[in-house]
Chain A
Amino acid sequence: MERNVLVIGGGIAGITCSLELAANGVKVTLIEQGPSIGGRMIQLDKTFPTLDCSSCILTPKMAEVSTNRSIELLTLSTVMEIERKGDGFSATILSNPRYVDMEKCSTCGACASACVMKVPDEFNFNLGKRSAIYIPFPQAVPQKYLVDRNACLFLSRGKCKKSCLDACEHKAINFEEKDRLIKRDFSAIVIATGFDLFDAASLGEYGMRKRRGVITSAELERILSPTGPTNGEILIEGKKPERFFFVQCVGSRDSQRGVKYCSRICCMYTAKHAYMIKEKLKDASIYVSYIDVRAYGKGYEEFFRSVQELGVLYIKGIPGEIVERGRSLLVRVEDMLSGELREIEVDVVVLATGILPSRDIFRIGKMLGLDLDEYGFVKVDPTYPSLAGKEGVFVCGTASGPKDIPDTVAQSTEAAASVFEYICRGK
């Protein structure tokens, strides 16, 4: 019998696990609900603490997924049903249409220029806009355009002059495409559903979405990226800011209004952001407020120190509130090491939001009867970090708890080894 593995989620965890399995001759079906694989990592410009270019690491792996004959990639796809069947599983997958024939599309972009409908660009956390027919980002895999059926005037309202059809020389656009239900049998399943971000607006005192200049770290990540809405130039609401204030533990370590756990990545990504701003704006004044700086990984403490040495001022104490003063933002924070309450005027406040389990995990967990912890992360035995507690079901990456990229990669490789061991048992 052929050994076939279903990997759910096309981020760095799912990609790593799929490639490892394929390298060992295992057939993999990798499904991703978005239009491209790459996950959260492809939204990052650089990775900490080495400041490696994130897409330079990830893009070759993404390309490998698309060319590897052992991997079947299904984007715009979700699992609808999973049943036990013999030793394995039978899964029903819903695959939404792209409305663009991938064989014919040359990725010229003429359709997008012709499209009259512009909507917020989710890849850039809604900073900037994209058209209804689009490619999610330049390195997307599949490297093909697609139609957002909720945004497309023709598909959603039946009313559009469809100038994209005329613009496409290759006649690749096909509005007749329909949803497909795909049934497949698998001998094992890997859950790599990743994480969502805490909604900073739920902590009203920080003024997210209320006060100009208050942004999230995820938004800043896109602003700093050369492929982002400002092509890497630090512009916020059209202005060049000079004074930055980072707030850590937004939603993390908060048993009242957030989650009790530490998200493990915010201290370091904030240090990275401070570094990257200093690289671009030498004279920027940057404050980072913290409860504890958790720089626990290899090279992390050293990186933290190098950020401090650039003149980034770390303040022990997180702000009570952020209010407006004229055109500036006023951060009210106790500098606990001096015991003084400071009111610091800045242009931008960056909220380092924590991570939550992906919303999808609740649906998938229910289908498979998985044990989730109080937050929704898949429960695992620390000595078997990729066993999801049900025979034939594995987990990797942040689906089982907050992790940074090195830990995610290490654990996803380990998951692949465990899956391999499982499907080869007794053989």
Chain B
Amino acid sequence: MMKKGIDEDWTKRVFACIQCGKCTGSCPESAKTPLNIRMVVRRKQFGSVSASQHVWYCTSCGACTIRCPRDVKPSEVLIHIRSDLVESGRISTSIQRALENSLIQKNPWGKARSKRSEWALKADFQIKNIGDLREKRLLFTCCVEAYDPRCNVIPRNVSKILTYAGIEFGILMEEEICCGNEIRRLGEKGLFEELRDENISNFKKYGIEEIIALSPHCYNAIKNEYGEEAPGVVHYTEILWRLLKEGIIRVGREYKKKVVYHDPCFLGKQNGIFEEPRNILMAIAGTELLEFTRSRENSLCCEGGGGRMFYDVDLEYERNAKSRVSEAQELGAEVIGVACPFCLVTLEEEAKEKGIEVKDISEIITEVLL
């Protein structure tokens, strides 16, 4: 069912590893944390049941799997080891809680399912229920966007722009549940499948033809891990850029700021969307687009993926968000532009102290729309 299955041939792939070290050299957690992704694969070759908790440092950025010359998919091997730990209950309480929450309330934070669409009610315009529409275009929100007050603005802004552009769309209201992207990466395959199936049955129930995903994580799950039954999915930056390019929406006001764009791993390196967010920023008068030295496929992970939003690792170490923010500062950036709610949260935590703003692209564009 899954396109990028973690099951088929995975042991064959483990044995095909030639221990070249490409994965460790690519991993954003190497050196500063105890995780050595190459050793994870090596131990697996010897069949040793790894009791190592080091696997929880992985952020699922995907660099190892993208670059592995033998196509071993080290990050998927690591998910298998996490699965073993989950199955035998050797996991921290915070991970356990995230999984339980996702089972009961259908979101890792355990927020009430009934409040899933509260963000929409707070909007000063009407956001329709997908059931009331003729055009079956669904706006799919990430759990953190649905519940977190900081991230609420993303669905609200995108909804506003779509409404303004005359694009009909709806939401699933209380029926929307977590996409399961992070749950699969936490090693809870069964729960991921449950969430996936429920989402797919909702998509079917309403005859959904197109999904606009707001988070690159949901986008990735639906696009790559939901299988053939899932409708086509686009990331919202793809739609926004199309609307701008075709002149359906126009940016009128200036946004006189130096903005450095941070590529989210699940949007950029994992799914190849590099241009649209940049094109949007470049279309805004007054905005100067800056680039990190590590950008595009070399973008440095914010460490918000792989379930890392829901648990804390044991070790205190310098976060990538911190070095990202210092580089932004050195570049003279006033704003770090992102297109992912996890990047928004992780980077903002560090940026606040430094006086640098972190903004989702939808926030910037809403400010300058005519």
Contacts and interface: CB of A to CB of B under 8 A. Distances in A.
A363 B337 CA distance: 48
Contacts of B63: 205, 320-321
A371 interface: no
Interface string A308-319: 000000001111
B326 to A, nearest CB: 13
B18 to A, nearest CB: 6
B84 interface: no
Interface string B221-241: 000000000000000000000
Interface in A299-348: 316-321, 323-324, 332-334, 336, 339-341, 343
Contacts of A340: 31
A15 B30 CA distance: 51
Interface string B314-334: 000000000000000000000
Contacts of A319: 22, 25
Given A253-B69, A339-B36, A321 B26 contact: yes
A291 B24 contact: no
Nearest to A331: B25
Nearest to A258: B69
Contact of B21 (A203, A255, A318): A318
Given A317-B25, A336-B19, A341-B25, A323 B71 contact: no
A321 B298 contact: yes
A317 B20 contact: yes
A317 B298 contact: no
Interface in B158-212: none
**From A205, A332, A333, residue with most partner B Cβ within 10 Å:** A205
Contacts of A324: 293
Interface residues of B, number: 28
A254 interface: yes
A132 interface: no
Contacts of A204: 296-298
B351 to A, nearest CB: 21
A254 B72 CA distance: 11
B24 A320 contact: yes
B69 A336 contact: no
A205 B67 contact: yes
Contacts of B21: 316-318, 320, 333-334, 336
B39 interface: yes
B324 to A, nearest CB: 13
B39 to A, nearest CB: 7
A369 to B, nearest CB: 33
A256 interface: yes
B294 interface: yes
Contacts of A339: 36, 39
B309 interface: no
Interface string B10-42: 000000001111111111001100001011000
Nearest to A333: B25
A188 interface: no
A334 B38 contact: yes
B68 interface: yes
B70 interface: yes
A332 B21 CA distance: 10
Nearest to B38: A334
A320 B293 CA distance: 15
Contacts of B294: 321, 323
**What are the 10 tightest A-B residue pairs by CB atom distance, in nearest-first order?**
A320-B25, A317-B21, A320-B26, A341-B31, A334-B24, A254-B69, A334-B21, A204-B297, A291-B20, A341-B30
14 contacts: A204-B296, A204-B298, A205-B67, A257-B67, A320-B21, A320-B23, A320-B24, A321-B25, A321-B298, A334-B25, A336-B38, A339-B36, A341-B30, A343-B31
Given A253-B70, A320-B64, A341-B30, 20 more contacts: A205-B26, A254-B69, A255-B69, A256-B70, A256-B71, A318-B25, A319-B22, A319-B25, A320-B22, A320-B25, A320-B27, A320-B30, A320-B67, A321-B63, A321-B298, A333-B25, A334-B21, A334-B30, A340-B31, A343-B31
